[in-house]
Chain A
Amino acid sequence: MAPRRSTIRNPAAEAQTFRARAVAGFLVAAAGLTLIAGWYYKLQVVDHEQYATRSEANRIKQRPLIPPRGLIYDRAGRLLADNVPAYRLEIVGEQVRDLEATLSGLQELLGISEEEIARYRAARRTTRAFHSVPLRMRLDEAEVARFAVHRHRFPGVDVVPYLTRRYPYGELFAHVVGYVGRVDENDLRRMDDSRYAVLSHIGKAGIERQYEARLRGEVGTERVEQNARGRDIRTIAREPATPGHDLYLSIDAELQQAVVDAFEGQHGAAVVVDPRSGEVLALVSLPSYDPNLFVNGISVADYRSLMDSPSQPMFNRAVSGGYEPGSTIKPFVALAGLEHGAIRPETTIFSSGAFRLPGQQREYRDWRPGGHGRTNLVESLAQSVNTYYYQLAMDLGIERMSAYLARFGFGEPTGIDLPNEAAGILPSPHWKRMARNQAWFPGETVISGIGQGFWVTTPLQLAQATAILAADGERHPLHLLLASQAGFDSPRQREPHAPPQRVVDEAGHLAAVEAGLVAVMHSPTGTARAQAVGMDYQIAGKTGTAQRVTRRGDTSVDLDDLPFHLRHRALFVAYAPVEDPQLAIALVVESGGSGSRAAAPVARRIFDAWLQREAGP
């Protein structure tokens, strides 16, 4: 009970009151500090484990170390895919005083586009303020220099070096090497690999995609002590990244360029193989595109123009393109006839210009009105006599013919080390039953004999089959990868490939067909004789013209009057030099008219380029 208030001062009572209150105050203070001590006991002693763990997690950051991606070389060691140091412009949000002024200043200085600024703003929203967000990738030297001069105006903005993929040859190898791009959700679903949470790029096409696992290397880790601003204080442990393997391709960059030049701007595809090994020396699909556009994110405008182009530059015609083989199939049908004894080299068949199946009205025509007369095997190839092969196909029967042609790899992927290879179609009753659920008709056997009807082949398959002819009947699996290397100072490991398989046993059969193919180029009756003028070596070749217009009755159509895309596709398969084949080629010229006029000259230019170079200057 407090003393009653009075109007008379009582110092002794006041002092007494003070003492009582002071004791109360002291007790309150003691209680308060005891409460604090108790609370701290809970934090520091009872919950110590939990906070110690969190303190450790604060301090130690595990950080991935990005491996450099493996380089890609051609067979002569020319760089097809390179990692080059580049510079990107980054902004650390928390260090910027006035973001709007900074952005507009940079816009003025470096011409940053609205698209880039919008992308930056989107990325910034999901990033902590002390992390950097890129504003522009791949600054050029002039931009780096211009920024360096004005750097003091832009605190928090920095030019950061990094490694980016570069394809020095641009369009030339887009359909072989492919390209890398930023990892997207599709890739994450496809790869299901935690690595890609760390790696920013992934092979999207071509060799880059095929050998992704070897090229990417292994991510390393580094445990660093960081301060609260994410700045490294020291490294505690380090498991270095393993760089990706460097790859050596069988491609010859000079030949590849020669092939592209040989097309003289026409669209189409070509595959050049060394028949002795199955190594692909050149693989061309035209038109092409610049893979460098994709590496750091392609702009909407560039992407749309690639996708909307009617000539489909992104489509790999050599690997995924399906073409009717036309007359280029004839050498293989001839081999089937020889193998099964349906013909012998000297067997002759009479061509009247029109072939009829017994009891049917439909005429199957020769390309020369009035026919070629009586021709043997060599002449049938040299003049590309359809009737010979109509008859041969009927004599063989579709089952035997397609079973034999399957040995050359028709109707299935060649197994080349590139993604998205098409299987094509090898016509057979079984195929028709499975694919269309329909019965086979004899007329379909007839046109299958000249590579028409259901036939679909890829340039790659035609090159493979031609290489078998050139290699005396041995099939060497097609491949692009020659060797790989774990680092520039480790040994080159040759890539093992499946051993060759024997497809044709009888050397005599091959010789007979080869004589016909040589006659195509070098006999006075050969369809491509005009292309062999002035040649100091011999080519074995076969022209083909895949029709896109069916002829009805006797009305003949003048091809040159047709719009371009309705003209025939010109095909040509060949190998040379005949006595010791170094190259086997299959090529398609789109919208190019006949095989002899449009495709054979392209092949001639390719052989010339190669053989002249081999002969030395």
Chain B
Amino acid sequence: MKRAARFATDLVGRVLAPLDLPLLLMLVLLMGVGLTVLASAAADAPHLVRNQAIRFGMGLGALLVLAHIPPARMRLWAPWVFLGSLLLLALVPVMGTGRSGGRWLYLGVFYLQPSELMKITVPMMVAWLLHRSTLPPGWTTLGACLVVLGVPVALTAMQPDLGTALLIGSAGVFAIFLAGLAWWRIGLLGLAGVAALPVLWFSLREYQRNRLLTFMNPDADPLGTGWNIAQSKIALGSGGLTGKGWGQGSQAHLDFLPEHTTDFIFAVLGEEFGWLGVVLTLALYLAILGRALWMASEARDSFGRLLGGALALSFFVYIFVNAGMISGLLPVVGAPMPLLSYGGTSAVSLLAGFGVVMSIHAHRRFGR
């Protein structure tokens, strides 16, 4: 009896061993905030809260599984995982389904959004490439990295899903940045990027261009594309310092706020909990990011470091893009707020990413 109990405790201990308690607690806290806001925003559809809780459970499962996979093994698998996910992404234009532009693949049992996979596999592949060369990377490595980065970004942008493309790209770029790419090379690449802007502009779809134009001049079309942003700003602004109170956000509850369970859920938080709620949430995000970044820096090899660091910093891009977009600071690109916005794929891929970070940290003591 005693032995059985000890065995069980031992087993649980081993299962939970790779988890980082502070990070896990902060993530659970964030998920709690997410479910609370969602319960208000989706008052007319209570099943969304249950669905989201189930997805959080699945995400935590993925986190736990990944936390047990040593980074060394991930490194070995990296090229194959990357090529596999790239293949799935390439299949999307051929056999993709879904309401908004067909980003989903039906894999017999479940639907999968390959672009979400890329959020992890791209930085993984870039980290793999960088790990193989000496650091800081030279032009050759850099070129290889940009190809590995560019193909999935272009495929995702063509779906068209500019927000996800941006997140995938930034995760890869952060890996390169963290690898110590020389500042002058960064400068040169930046200049090249600016020079490519006109080309990029003409490769955008009509509605994407309209969104950017509306962003520049939101009053030009108050009932069209600008409507979303105008209503979102009204939601935030009317929330004031302390908010209207949970469940009291009239902008969200009377449907003035579009997409208020998904992309615009942070506006619901701002309306109901005010600026203080916003700042506290941002602080929580920053703490999670800092903790993850610190955990990555503890890794034994550069693969783990770069992968973990890239995942942590891309978390910032999520928050910045979403919070900026719904407040009119940035153009609308359709990016979810991490662990607040309703939606399974993004929650699972985010938690899986933190699983990777935890694995990197947990296996820091083991050799290559």
Q: Which residues of A contact B (CB under 8 A)?
A: 2-3, 5-11, 13-15, 17-22, 25-26, 28-30, 32-33, 36-37, 39-41, 43-45, 47-48, 50-52, 54-56, 58-59, 128, 225-229, 233
Contacts and interface: CB of A to CB of B under 8 A. Distances in A.
A17 B239 CA distance: 43
A18 B135 CA distance: 10
B305 A15 contact: yes
A100 to B, nearest CB: 23
B241 interface: yes
Interface stretch (B25-33, B75-83, B89-97, B290-298): B290-298
Interface string B277-320: 01100100110011001101100011001100100010010011
Given A11-B301, A21-B177, A52-B238, A37 B289 contact: no
Nearest to A129: B223
Interface stretch (B111-119, B200-208, B247-255, B350-358): B247-255
Contacts of A225: 250, 254
A29 B314 CA distance: 10
A158 B187 CA distance: 62
Contact of B327 (A20, A26, A40, A233): A40
Contact of A5 (B136, B274, B297, B323): B136
Given A6-B134, A43-B233, A45-B275, 16 more contacts: A3-B180, A18-B302, A18-B309, A19-B297, A21-B179, A21-B180, A25-B178, A28-B316, A29-B289, A30-B286, A33-B319, A44-B236, A47-B237, A55-B251, A58-B231, A59-B254
B135 A54 contact: no
A40 B255 contact: no
A550 B306 CA distance: 117
A18 B306 contact: yes
Contacts of B254: 58-59, 225-228, 233
B233 A51 contact: yes
B177 A25 contact: yes
A29 B256 contact: no
B174 interface: yes
Given A36-B329, A45-B275, A25 B309 contact: yes
B235 interface: yes
B43 interface: no
A37 B313 contact: no
Contacts of A55: 234-235, 237-238, 250-251
A17 B183 CA distance: 12
Contacts of A18: 178-180, 296-297, 302, 305-306, 309
Contacts of B16: none
B230 to A, nearest CB: 9
Nearest to B243: A44
A15 B297 contact: yes
B272 to A, nearest CB: 12
Q: Quick one: which of A7, A8, A36, A233 has the most chain B CB within 10 A? A: A36
B62 to A, nearest CB: 24
Contacts of B319: 33, 36
Secondary structure at the A interface, as helix, strand, loop or mixed, is helix
Secondary structure at the B interface, as helix, strand, loop or mixed, is helix
Contacts of A9: 134
A52 B237 contact: yes
B250 A33 contact: no
B270 interface: yes
Nearest to A52: B238
B182 interface: yes
B84 interface: no
B324 interface: yes
Contacts of A39: 324, 327, 329
18 contacts: A2-B183, A5-B134, A5-B138, A17-B179, A19-B297, A22-B178, A25-B309, A25-B313, A30-B286, A33-B285, A36-B329, A40-B279, A43-B237, A44-B239, A44-B240, A58-B234, A225-B254, A229-B255
A227 B270 CA distance: 19
A2 B253 CA distance: 53
Contacts of A227: 253-256
Contacts of B241: 44-45, 48
Q: Quick one: which of B134, B135, B179 has the most chain A CB within 10 A? A: B135
Contacts of A14: 135, 180, 302, 305
A41 B329 CA distance: 13
B320 A33 contact: yes
Nearest to A227: B254
B316 A7 contact: no
Nearest to A53: B238
A401 B239 CA distance: 85
Top 7 A-B residue pairs of the complex, sorted by shortest distance between their CB atoms? A51-B237, A55-B238, A17-B180, A29-B316, A227-B254, A228-B255, A44-B275
B236 to A, nearest CB: 5
